[in-house]
A and B are shown apart, each in its own frame.
Chain A
Amino acid sequence: MPKVAIVGVGQSAFVRSYPGSIREMVFDGFQEALTDAGMSAADIGASVVCSAPEYDKQRSPSGVFAEYLGLNPQPTVYVETLCSSGSTGVRLAYSLVASGLHDAVAVLGFQKMSEISSAETQERMGRGGDIQWESPFGTMMPAYYAMFARAHMDAFGTTPEDLAEIRVKASTYGQLNEKAVYRKAVTADMFADPEHRMAGTVASPLRVGDCCANADGSSCIIVASEEKADALARKPIWILGTGAASASVNLAGRDLFSGLSVAREAARQAYQMAGIGPDDVDVAEVHDCFTIAEMMAYEDLGFAEPGSGKDLIRGKETYKEGRIPVNVDGGLLSKGHPIGATGGSQIRTIVMQLRGEAGEIQVQHPSIGLVHNIGGVGLYGNVTILGR
């Protein structure tokens, strides 16, 4: 298999309400990535656009963006796997480059969630579940993940306090991330105070503080061939492994409720392709749409045995100075989660870490990084392994 590189990364600020249209928002991430790579639009052979379409008023946005970004007449295509659309786009770009079809592909992730109300958002997110057999019961994403939290607590003695500590860690780094939507501190005391907003139950046992925020934003990852990468001034970061999996949309079709089978399968594939194991990972970005999702990711990725994820957070092992730093950019919990932009934002963080350009959140000399990006409630899962 030919080597495939990431040569440019970019991201708009993730904000509550973006003051512009979707093409303008996508331009922000693209401009940053192209500048980062030292390339021009003419160098890009194709574009892949990633989002969850139910938020978009514009049908088929890829064609609109291609024109606005100066990417005509190059081909463009739209991909969607809910919240993991961004890393699915990078996986598709990997195959387009590895096949020799294109030597540079721009992966553009975006979501402008503020165009609809929070209740409408929950309704649309809930329809990422099984609309024929589950949605008529009044489902929504926090409740689905809450069912996993309940099962995890029952199986392993994980506590609400453990989950709160994951949010506390996220806010530690979110405060340092100027592109994060939530930049305030969150403390364990807030969860312990029943009157505090963070402690209010959304869907038991998950509370407001266990949930990430909606946001508007865009991201851009430029994937290139070895030849193209070598011609650029900047040192490339290599895609060492990519794994992807799917599972039953209806929870009735699942067997695992204290973890996500898609994450375990995608991780297995990615580790095998990269020829490494969990102990070789120096820094990771995981899909912490809810605190329990990060807890399960520790175990699904092999950073801890099933049931021992709580020991990682209790021992602060996933902090920047710990054994396996996770989400030291604030994660989805603090950055916000503009669905289609999230995977690209996670990859951007790992690329910057591997380059040693992460500033205040820089982990000491990482050589291998991992990105875990999940769509739906473990309906889709992508694991991407990057190296210097």
Chain B
Amino acid sequence: MATKKDVDDRFKKFGTVSFTAISKTNDFIDYLEQGKVMGTRCGACGKSFFPPRSNCYRCLDNPMEWFEVSGNGTLVTYSRLQFAPIGFEADLPYAIALLDYGDYKVFGRISSEIPEEELSIGMPMRTRVNELPNGQLNYVFEKSDS
């Protein structure tokens, strides 16, 4: 008797609500579970990608390697939301932001522990994996120690 084929839908675990289930970058989720936020780098030209992608548009279909987003980025800009789209109401208020790591940038949320008054453009921040109350995984930006 034929068994039902397993579907690799790991990506549905990303964020408060994921709109994607299947991606060739599904290993991103395994890394999140290990506490790592990972991007990809083209094995041929060395270009770094965040968010990670499975194809390099410069080299066309070259093997991609994973690298860890580590160290400090600088806060490019941010906004704190008082209204949310459907499915995100329980998270309010929350802030979305962009960090610049030089070779690449990372879009995400700011840790809910940081009050808006303590944010300023240009401040160093780091990226950390975060488990949401509903069991989903995302990552947040927190103040850098240095």
Q: Which residues of A contact B (CB under 8 A)?
A: 119-120, 122-123, 126-127, 130-140, 142-144, 146-151, 154, 200-206, 250-254, 257
Contacts and interface: CB of A to CB of B under 8 A. Distances in A.
Given A137-B15, A252-B98, 17 more contacts: A119-B86, A134-B107, A136-B19, A137-B16, A138-B15, A138-B17, A138-B88, A138-B109, A140-B83, A142-B83, A149-B79, A150-B79, A154-B122, A202-B82, A250-B51, A250-B107, A251-B107
B104 A252 contact: yes
A252 B105 contact: yes
Contact of A148 (B77, B87, B94, B97): B77
Contacts of A120: 86
Contacts of A202: 81-83
B23 interface: yes
B18 interface: yes
A253 B121 CA distance: 18
A294 to B, nearest CB: 18
A203 B138 contact: no
Given A132-B19, A137-B107, A252-B50, A123 B79 contact: no
25 contacts: A119-B86, A122-B84, A122-B85, A126-B85, A130-B51, A130-B107, A131-B19, A132-B20, A134-B107, A135-B15, A135-B17, A135-B19, A136-B15, A136-B18, A137-B138, A140-B81, A143-B81, A144-B79, A147-B78, A148-B77, A150-B78, A154-B77, A252-B105, A257-B77, A257-B98
A213 B94 CA distance: 23
B116 interface: yes
B76 A257 contact: yes
Contacts of A135: 15, 17, 19, 85
Nearest to A145: B79
Contact of A136 (B16, B106, B121): B16
Nearest to A150: B77
Nearest to A133: B51
Contacts of B80: 201, 203-204
Contacts of A201: 80, 82
B129 interface: no
A10 B107 CA distance: 41
A119 B109 CA distance: 21
B91 A138 contact: yes
Kindly name the residue among B83, B121, B122, B138 whose own CB sees the greatest number of chain A CB atoms within 10 A.
B83
Contacts of A206: 79
Contact of A143 (B79, B116, B121): B79
Interface string B3-39: 0000000010011111110010000000000000000
